[in-house]
Amino acid sequence: MDNKTFDIKIRCYKFSLTVMKLINELDSKRIYNSILNQLLRSATSIGANMVEAQSASSKRDFIKYLDISLKSANETK
């Protein structure tokens, strides 16, 4: 398998796109807007925090951003 298949940034990016497509296909009635917006924010936050972790200035910052990413993944789930 290609190593790029396992690159976390690429996987997070593809996951974000998948969630965006899902939200776009759903019947977006007004009552669901806040839930769909939160789903979008939490799903895209996973990758954003992974990228931040990769450029962290310390081990403590690295762990902090990975923890935030994990929390966003759990919230998305």
Q: Which two tokens stand for residue 23?
A: 């939200």
The residue assigned the tokens 């799903």 is: 43
d(CA 20, CA 5): 20
Residue 63 is part of which domain span? 3-76
pLDDT in tens, 33-74: 889 999 999 999 999 999 999 999 999 999 999 999 999 999
Q: Reply yes or no on whether the pLDDT at 9 is more than 70.
A: yes
- Against a cut of 0.85, is the pTM above it? no
pLDDT of residue 32: 81
Q: Nearest 5°: phi and psi at 26?
A: -75, 155
Query: How many domains would you assign to the chain?
Result: 1
CA atoms within 13 A on the CB side of 7: 10
CATH number where 23 lies: 1.20.1440.60
Q: Average the pLDDT over 20-38 and give the result.
A: 85
